[in-house]
Amino acid sequence: MTSEEFRKNAHKAVDWVADYLENIEHYPVKSQVAPGDIGNQIPSYPPEDSEVFDNLMSDLDQIIMPGITHWQHPNFHAYFSGNNSYPSIIAELLTAGLGAQCMIWETSPAAAELEEKMMEWLKSLMGLPKQWHGVIQDTASTSTLAAILTAREQKTKSNQLGMSAERLRIYCSTQTHSSIDKAVRIAGIGSNNLVKVDVDEHLAMNPEKLAHAIKNDLSAGYVPTAVVSTLGTTSTLAMDPVDAIDNIAKQYQIWHHVDAAYAGSAFVLPHERPAGLTHIDSYVFNPHKWLFTNFDCSAYYVKDKDKLIDTFEILPEYLKTGTRGRVNDYRDWGIPLGRRFRALKLWFVLRTFGAKGIRARISDHIDHGKWLAEQIDSHISFELLIPRTLNLVVFRYKTSQGDPNVLNQSLLEQINASGRAYLTHTKINGNYGLRLVAGQTYLKRKHIENVWKLICSTAASLDQ
Ligand SMILES: *Cc1c(COP(=O)(O)O)cnc(C)c1O
């Protein structure tokens, strides 16, 4: 492709994206294809000869689009949203155009310095402790792994000595995200040494049970190493009592990591901010979920950056530079050497929306969740399985006959098969509930009203 062809084709691609987002409500939210449907249409070998661009675009429409689930559809209410926005998309295009590899300051000083500033901006936007140092990681999973590896290094110096015979223990609640299970496996700590602490009636970690578990472990010869609190669990957005957990972490001198992957974006609203973050050791939230910055972009903060760098710094001759110590070389702040220039899209998003714009949209989303929760709560045939938190509503259809779990599972399947909305489910104390997140970038009140009508009419049809 020549530069002239690039200019022409890229304009077509931009028009394609604009058309796509303008018309997104005409697509079925959840892809309706069966396994193999897409793969079977792709040749087994790459072409010998060059193909023309227009053929690629028509295959995108014909082959790929039926197999896309439309995460930017306003009625995408599944999992947690993975939002984009126009400024974020433009910045991604520019990032690809620059094609810079941002492993150290020297490989693109602007990338390192903008990243440092964007992490400062996010701190001030969210009211996070001023003394923290931030770095962009690809995902919350990687950020949490970095936290566990740092905690491990603090206790064992295993980077140099290899894995110790000591049995390290990590604590989290029974509601914690699976990325913590993965992190303890990768870190060589082992699933058996991940202690899942019981929760209270709000599904938040019970700090007394945590203290009890640590005490038991100490007397059994284990080495308590880290506790992971969650602000906004994936199932129900439960908020662990970070304050009380931090007191225990300090008492036993263990690392305290806080996972606010989704809910962290809500802290742009001062009244939603949690207490107790000041002394924690590390923190993660994902702008790529609810902050209009397309995947991937995870904001990871630490109280003591030397401990982080101690864990990941490695210095071969070919990476030695004259600026070390005066600038941030972010390859020493995480696992990969190579790094994308992710700060650019945050810069574009935060300047285009403005802090006010971001607060307004997040606050609207919470209002939509509140509205829906009120409809459900006052409807004779529906109930909330747990009180609404932020913009997450977990509910079920009530039935006098049959198994409510089976009924609600078919309710979910039928809603998703309609193509008009996409919800997922969770189970609370054995009860199956539909889980609706009101957080898509382009969500308006009318979309929530429509999905509520769809839920009611689908449920009514199940009764017949
Ligand atoms: C989504 C989520 C994660 C995982 O995020 P990734 O960036 O996909 O790794 C971790 N913790 C919580 C609470 C989440 O909601």
- Per DSSP, 183 falls in state H
Q: Does residue 286 have its Cβ closer than 6 Å to ligand 1?
A: yes
Letter string b/e over residues 259-292, b meaning 16 or more CB atoms within 10 A of that residue's CB: bbbbbbbbbbbeebebebbeebbbbbbbbbbbbb
CB atoms within 10 A of CB 120: 15
Q: Which two tokens stand for residue 139?
A: 């995902």
Residue owning the nearest CA to atom 5 of ligand 1: 140
CA atoms within 13 A on the CB side of 322: 0
Q: Which residues contact 96 (CB under 8 A, 6 or more apart)?
A: none
Q: Which residues contact 379 (CB under 8 A, 6 or more apart)?
A: 456
Q: What is the pTM of this model?
A: 0.96
Cα–Cα distance for residue pair 176/174, rounded to 1 Å: 6
Cα–Cα distance for residue pair 100/230, rounded to 1 Å: 34
Q: Are 1 and 13 in contact (CB under 8 A)?
A: no
Per-residue pLDDT of the chain (464 residues; tens, 9 = 90+): 999 999 999 999 999 999 999 999 999 999 999 999 999 999 999 999 999 999 999 999 999 999 999 999 999 999 999 999 999 999 999 999 999 999 999 999 999 999 999 999 999 999 999 999 999 999 999 999 999 999 999 999 999 999 878 899 999 999 999 999 999 999 999 999 999 999 999 999 999 999 999 999 999 999 999 999 999 999 999 999 999 999 999 999 999 999 999 999 999 999 999 999 999 999 999 999 999 999 999 999 999 999 999 999 987 777 777 887 889 999 999 999 999 999 999 999 999 999 999 999 999 999 999 999 999 999 999 999 999 999 999 999 998 788 999 999 999 999 999 999 999 999 999 999 999 999 999 999 999 999 999 999 999 998 76
* Closest ligand 1 atom number to CA of residue 232: 13
Cα–Cα distance for residue pair 163/168, rounded to 1 Å: 10
* Closest ligand 1 atom number to CA of residue 289: 1
Q: Are 67 and 33 in contact (CB under 8 A)?
A: yes
| 450 C-alpha to ligand 1 centroid (Å) | 28
Q: Does residue 75 have its Cβ closer than 6 Å to ligand 1?
A: no
Q: Does residue 137 have its Cβ closer than 6 Å to ligand 1?
A: no
Q: Does residue 80 have its Cβ closer than 6 Å to ligand 1?
A: yes
Mutate to test the pocket of ligand 1, among 81, 136, 141 (most ligand atoms within 8 A of CB): 141
- Per DSSP, 157 falls in state -
Q: Are strands 431-437 and 133-137 parallel, antiparallel or unpaired?
A: unpaired
Q: Does residue 234 have its Cβ closer than 6 Å to ligand 1?
A: yes
**Position 34: which residue type?**
A
Q: Does residue 426 have its Cβ closer than 6 Å to ligand 1?
A: no
In the block, residue with structure tokens 């603090």: 154
| 120 C-alpha to ligand 1 centroid (Å) | 22
Q: Are 288 and 297 in contact (CB under 8 A)?
A: yes
| 181 C-alpha to ligand 1 centroid (Å) | 12
C-alpha of 170 from chain center: 21
User: What values do phi and psi take at 386, rounded to 5?
Assistant: -160, 145
Cα–Cα distance for residue pair 147/220, rounded to 1 Å: 25
Q: Does residue 421 have its Cβ closer than 6 Å to ligand 1?
A: no
Sheet holding 431-437, edge to edge: 382-389, 392-397, 431-437, 424-428
Q: Does residue 140 have its Cβ closer than 6 Å to ligand 1?
A: yes
